[in-house]
Structure 1
């Protein structure tokens, strides 16, 4: 469990601490998938750009007099097949990571919204209700998790 959540002491009960810990874990999972998706997306874009520039420079310009000559030059080099497979694989990985990122985001926001909806039940007594803003501020400051409002 995160040290800042453990240090909440009497402001929250153990079940609320577990819920806060789970929302932190899901936020971290969402951030990891977001980073991976962006990394693979930019790798795909850059590698596709460089490959198409290579094709333009080595095949399209020298063999522009005939489509058959371009076609033949393209398939004479096995590097082109491997490059196309690599770029296609990166594109597929990018889409897979996008789906995982979207799923992680949905899980994270669902749990975050559940905490917001159940805040009256989680901080039942009046003293805890008045101090819940300290918990919300700590979550916002330490983990960038907004528990004040449901919308992103």
Structure 2
């Protein structure tokens, strides 16, 4: 458990565990978001490189005949490998995007649950000091617990 969360005096153990789960989901979401952006960038640059190569090496010299272009593309396995690799990269980007969206949904649902249950988690004596927990979560982990909207 994070040392910051362990040092909170205003919360009980169950609330600390909920906050730790929220931090873990936020970390997972941020990691998947960075991976998605990286893979998308690689996919786009690789695809532009393949298109550049195909245009100047195949399409431009053999533009007089579609059948000649097709036979050159299909005849050499490396050309097909480059094309299928580009398609595979975009497929992997889509899979990573779906994982990122699922992680964001889980993170947002738990965050909304903590916001909704804040009256139960911080009873009357700790209600006045809950803003300290909210400020720590915002400053240290960039998690906003003041309201439900993203």
- What range describes the TM-score normalised by the shorter chain of this pair? over 0.9
Note the 1:3-152 alignment, pairs <5 A.
Answer: 3-9=3-9, 11-126=10-125, 128-152=126-150
Query: Unpaired runs of 5+ in structure 1?
Result: none
Greater shift in the superposed pair: 61-70 or 109-118: 61-70
> Following superposition, which runs of at least 4 residues in structure 1 exceed 3 angstroms of deviation?
none
Instruction: State the Cα distance separating 1:32 from its structure 2 match.
Output: 0.8
Output one character per residue of 1:96-115: Cα deviation in whole Å (capped at 9) or x when no partner.
11110000000000000000
Output one character per residue of 1:66-95: Cα deviation in whole Å (capped at 9) or x when no partner.
111211222232111111221111111111
**Alpha-carbon separation, structure 1, partners of 2:107 and 2:149:** 12
**Alpha-carbon separation, structure 2, partners of 1:49 and 1:147:** 42
TM-score normalised according to structure 2 size: 0.97
SS of 1:65 mapped into structure 2: coil
Instruction: State the Cα distance separating 1:132 from its structure 2 match.
Output: 0.5
Instruction: State the Cα distance separating 1:57 from its structure 2 match.
Output: 0.4
TM-score normalised according to structure 1 size: 0.96
SS of 1:146 mapped into structure 2: coil
Output one character per residue of 1:114-134: Cα deviation in whole Å (capped at 9) or x when no partner.
0000000000023x1111001
Query: Unpaired runs of 5+ in structure 2?
Result: none
Aligned positions, number: 150
**Alpha-carbon separation, structure 2, partners of 1:70 and 1:87:** 19
